[in-house]
Amino acid sequence: MDSFGFIITRHVNSETTNKYWNHSIKLLKTLYPNRKIIIIDDNSNQNYVKSEFDYKNIEIIKSEFKGAGEILPYYYFLKNKYFENAVILHDSVFFHKRIPFELLNHNVVPLWYFNPDKENVENSLRIVQQLKNNYIIQKKITHNDNVIGLPQDKWFGCFGSQSYINHNFLLKINEKYGIVNLTQSIKNRSDRCCLERIIGCIFFTENAKLCKVKALFGDIMSYQKWGESTFDKYIENFNKGNVKKSVVKVWTGR
């Protein structure tokens, strides 16, 4: 079994958004030609979905949970051990440099983090009700300024719920929290924003060492200008050879 592979969440609703996953996969296949890629399609408009190449070693799964978005890679990775470790991505994330994931010694690490905040706490608490042992996460979300200062009390958001995660670790946190239940509660963009905080709480609770690392690529707020990197601007820079970052995230607001 492969040591790692990629799971990408896809939602296509236009000709432009169809370019996202195609471009992402072309780059990944250049950098990681032998790695398996799983695409989880979340309610795409199939009139726009079109492969630009005859991709190899790719599996596409059409999700039955409409709008569940970023929880879907975790759900399907729990159900299917595609590889030992998964790199979970949005279709709007583009790799320009090979990251040696095979050398990572983490059971989980977000790709980017953000500091805890008070955004839509009420909705987060509603969603958390679906979890087992939810009082642990409720406490962290309620006391989200990390003032207590103890490692086991600290948490950070997992931007886009994107991470590198080990399958056995995922099994353990699902056994403890029942995260598969979240497929019933995540329905829209607001819910998916809450998930970034909930999944971050779980990761930092179950791996206190993350407080020292936080994420592979740092704080998303300082990594890129928030929300300003559109696909058109990115492609313009890409065609000019002006992309400097190893990994680029573009914003689309779907």
Has residue 133 been placed in a domain? yes
Helix, strand or coil, per DSSP, at residue 26? helix
120: three-class secondary structure by DSSP: coil
Instruction: Tell whether 165 is covered by a domain.
Output: yes
> Domain containing 56 — which CATH number?
3.90.550
Please indicate, yes or no, if residue 175 is contained in any of the structural domains: yes
- The answer to whether residues 112 and 160 touch, using CB atoms and an 8 Å cutoff, is yes
The tokens of 251 are what?
Answer: 């914003």
Q: What string of pLDDT tens digits covers the 254 residues of the chain?
A: 789 999 999 999 999 999 999 999 999 999 999 999 999 999 999 999 999 999 999 999 999 999 999 999 999 999 999 999 999 999 999 999 999 999 999 999 999 999 988 888 999 999 999 999 999 899 888 875 554 445 556 889 999 999 999 999 999 999 999 999 999 999 999 999 999 999 999 999 999 889 889 999 999 999 987 666 889 989 999 999 999 899 999 988 66
Cβ proximity of 163 and 111 under 8 Å: yes
Contacts of 9 (CB under 8 A, 6+ apart): 40, 42, 69, 70, 72, 73, 88, 89, 90, 91
Number of structural domains the chain divides into: 1
Residue 66 lies in a domain: yes
Q: Determine the pLDDT at residue 136.
A: 87
pLDDT at 144: 55
- Residue 44 within a domain: yes
Tokens of 203: 């990761």
State which residues form the domain around 109: 4-249
**Domain-located, residue 254:** no
| Full-model pTM | 0.94
Note whether residue 161 is domain-resident.
Answer: yes
Is the distance from CB of 200 to CB of 158 less than 8 angstroms? yes
Residue 65 lies in a domain: yes
